[in-house]
Amino acid sequence: MHTLILSISFSVAVSIFLKLARGGGIRVDQAIAVNYATAVALSLWLLRPPLDTLFERPPAAWLILGLLGILLPSVFLVMAAAVRQAGIVRSDTAQRLSLILPILAAFLVFHEAVSGRKALGIALALCALACLLARPRHTGTGSPSGTSPSASAVATSAADDEARGSAARGWLTLLGVWAGYGCIDILFKQMARMGAGFTGSLLLSFTLAGLLIGLWLLARRTRWHARSLASGILLGGLNFGNIYFYIRAHQTFPDNPTLVFAAMNIGVISIGTLVGAGLFRERLSAVNLLGIGLALGAIVLLFPR
């Protein structure tokens, strides 16, 4: 269980970093590039994968590594676009709802047995997710002061086409976030099944992801920012811990991927909600607190006896 707790803790730390980065003048894309270079260095130093057999892998393993190498940096960038187009709340919701995809994969791909206890745990997890993501609605105040209803209607009509286009782009980015994070969870489970060879696979996926985002930044003729590059070292350490212990958790519970998928997603958002209230003074509603209770109940039900 400690592997899950460590993975959740590192993941929450990554979220805190990204939240602080937005207001700290850090260019996240550059930090992400250094993050993968740091993860490569930590893989070599701490995991010591066998380099002499690093490239001796079956075609299926290379397919998983290739997909991870593309998705890991791409989803970061899609998430940033989703935040711009659709807002932080919707983007975070799309990321958390990606839990549905790996849970389906647990039964359809990994052939996990379904029991009444497990089905109830999944139902509680989804209810907890809905409660944790609930936010108060804000109502509008009508036309701005000093603007006639007819002028407001004309302005609204003129902006309709642009608004529809922006909304369509926003939904596409949200779909990308939802599918991207869900697929990454499934691919990490597949990597965990590689056994002892996963350390080399982890190194290769970090290397490929770093190369792709580095080339993307060079193609954009990025002007490098010292603070962003330096902060990427911290992000890399946190992200390495998150992914490493997440894969270890799958290896600890090889026959119960639903527990890992659900506990990770629900655990991150539950602790993130509490951290948001404690550090960033975000308000918690009774529904949010109910969600935390349901999340704990779901994990208890999913945990093997």
Residue 92 CB: number of other CB atoms within 10 A? 19
**pLDDT tens per residue across all 305 residues of the chain:** 789 889 989 988 888 887 788 777 888 889 999 999 999 999 999 988 888 888 888 888 889 989 998 998 888 788 878 877 776 667 777 777 888 888 888 888 888 888 888 889 888 888 888 887 776 655 444 444 454 455 444 444 544 555 565 667 778 888 998 999 999 999 988 888 876 578 888 899 999 999 999 999 999 898 998 999 999 999 999 999 999 999 989 988 888 888 888 888 888 878 877 887 777 777 778 888 888 888 888 888 887 76
Structure tokens at 305: 């006896």
What is the model's pLDDT at position 164? 60
Query: Is 0.75 surpassed by the pTM of this model?
Result: yes
Enumerate the domain spans of the chain: 2-135+166-302
What is the model's pLDDT at position 305? 64
What is the model's pLDDT at position 167? 65
Residue type, 159: A
What is the model's pLDDT at position 137? 58
